[in-house]
Chains A and B, each alone.
Chain A
Amino acid sequence: MMRHLISAADLTRDDAVLILDTAEEMARVADRPIKKLPALRGRTICNLFFEDSTRTRISFEAAEKRLSADVINFAAKGSSVSKGESLKDTAQTLEAMGVDAVVIRHGASGAPYRLATSGWIDAPVINAGDGTHQHPTQALLDAFTMRRRLVGRDAGLGKDLKGKRITLVGDVLHSRVARSNVDLLHTLGAEVTLVAPPTLVPVGVDTWPCDVSYDLDRVLPESDAVMMLRVQRERMNAAFFPTEREYSRRYGLDGERMAKMPEHAIVMHPGPMVRGMEITAEVADSERCTVIEQVANGVHTRMAVLYLLLGGNEPAVTHTRPNDSESK
């Protein structure tokens, strides 16, 4: 059984569909006068954020509180925390305080895996984004948004995204969102195409379960959803493209390009958006753009993940990679 959620690639198709179905029920709580469920009463969850985050941290906190968990927020920003021993010290401190689960965001790829498998801590670990590696709950909320918009709110229950054509555009190299989405969308049966300048396509992409294209205009008419990725300048240590203007002309989404998409197709963005860079204000503010919806869906999806991992005496989500689950 899976105790941790480290990577979207760890989820089976049935696990992912169960999470999406549960999220759909969680979404209905948002319409109630009392937006609270008792499922995690008496459980303490620590949000361990070594890296900046607005929506993911607040989203996790809202999800935890709606499930009645006790929440401890730990922001490591500004401290001289580096990988390795200090993560160990932090983990052991949390363990001593009796934390029941850890939600971790870390700048170093693999930090959540290390925390989950090192034996420093007994609690389940949920990856809230690590370096350029994975951000599984983002992929789940994206899949939830796609299923709602492309299949239907009730019609989607129990279904995956078979045959849906999803295009991810932009800074794939630095994007954990792209990696998680490729893994999960493939599991759910969607056909994924990455579009990026050659300098922002990672080495080894040919082993990923997706297509790669350098021509956005050719891919757009065949997409059910187009996800624009933020150009992550804080992770860039070299010149990946000549000018911002050239980047947005070739890989940015403006109104003219959006018109080439099929009528039903949606525009997604994990946020935060850089308006004028990968997406114009016209597109960002249009009806077809699901950015705000994705934020709301993030709370529902994270509630589902927390409930399924922590709500019972053992997790309800199975595991496919045996070497991860051996941490006790």
Chain B
Amino acid sequence: MDSHDTNEPDVARPVLEGPDIARVLTRIAHEIVERAKGAEDVVLLGIPTRGVFLARRLAEKLEEITGRSIPVGSLDITMYRDDLRMHPPRALARTEIPGDGIDGRLVVLVDDVLFSGRTIRAALDGLNDIGRPRAVQLAVLVDRGHRELPIRADYVGKNLPTSLRETVKVQLAEEDGRDAVLLGAKPASA
């Protein structure tokens, strides 16, 4: 979630640009079709904010490949966060589960950056209250390392080894007006 840092780092270097992101999503879509043997029971659930846009884009690609419509929704993890009590309550985002639900389906969680893994743990808890998928997989645009929990991604757009002093910021046209992944430095005072 630290990819959404509001204070812009001084020098942010783009590591993925718009066309790269499009190519990466196409590849992930093909991987999903391959591993899920046609993606017949796939449900894509994006984690707000940017995961939702990525999930919608992935669904479009999957529809192009398979010719079928792919259910896509969103899963807000705010109330399942393990640091809920450490901050003022956050505004809730939308949880939208596709009409047929997730029971017995292959749920692919979609997020922009995989970092500590705590967001994904919260998402798994949240799924628990919604239904029982056949299996859960994880697709992320960027894996920046530094896991704090035994969680890994099934589909990774780009492995980006980082130091903890760096920030990874994902920008998507739907929210930020352009597509990019930016690698920057944390402000020294932080």
Contacts and interface: CB of A to CB of B under 8 A. Distances in A.
Interface of A: 1, 18, 21-22, 25-26, 28, 32-34, 36-39, 307-308, 311-316
Mostly, the A contact residues are: loop
A311 B93 contact: no
Contact of B88 (A22, A38, A314): A314
A38 B85 contact: no
A12 to B, nearest CB: 15
The 7 A-B residue pairs with the shortest CB-CB distance in the complex, in nearest-first order: A311-B89, A312-B89, A25-B92, A316-B89, A39-B79, A312-B88, A34-B129
B87 A25 contact: no
B95 interface: yes
Given A36-B129, A313-B87, 16 more contacts: A25-B95, A26-B92, A28-B94, A28-B95, A32-B129, A38-B80, A39-B79, A39-B84, A39-B89, A307-B79, A307-B92, A308-B89, A312-B85, A314-B88, A316-B89, A316-B90
B130 A316 contact: no
Contacts of B80: 38
Mostly, the B contact residues are: loop
B92 A315 contact: no
A34 to B, nearest CB: 5
B130 A32 contact: yes
A310 to B, nearest CB: 8
21 contacts: A18-B91, A21-B91, A28-B96, A32-B129, A33-B131, A34-B129, A34-B130, A36-B129, A37-B79, A37-B129, A39-B84, A307-B79, A308-B89, A311-B84, A311-B89, A312-B85, A312-B86, A312-B88, A312-B89, A313-B85, A316-B91
B89 A307 contact: yes
Contacts of B86: 312-313
Q: Size band of the B side of the interface?
A: 20 to 34
Interface of B: 76, 79-80, 84-97, 125, 129-131
Candidate in B85, B92, B125 with the most chain A CB atoms within 10 angstroms: B92
Candidate in B87, B97, B129 with the most chain A CB atoms within 10 angstroms: B129
Contacts of A28: 94-96
Contacts of B125: 38
A36 B85 CA distance: 18
A152 to B, nearest CB: 15
B102 to A, nearest CB: 11
Nearest to B128: A34
A227 B146 CA distance: 56
Given A33-B131, A34-B129, A313-B85, A22 B91 contact: yes
A29 to B, nearest CB: 8
A52 B19 CA distance: 65
Contacts of A37: 79, 129
Contacts of B76: 25
A37 B130 CA distance: 11
A25 B94 contact: yes
Contacts of B90: 312, 316
Contacts of B89: 39, 307-308, 311-312, 315-316
B125 to A, nearest CB: 7
A307 B94 CA distance: 16
Nearest to B97: A32
Contacts of A32: 97, 129-130
B91 A312 contact: no
A131 B116 CA distance: 51
A38 B79 contact: yes
A313 B95 contact: no
Nearest to A157: B94
Contacts of B97: 32
A4 to B, nearest CB: 15
Nearest to A1: B88
Given A32-B130, A33-B131, A313-B86, A22 B92 contact: yes
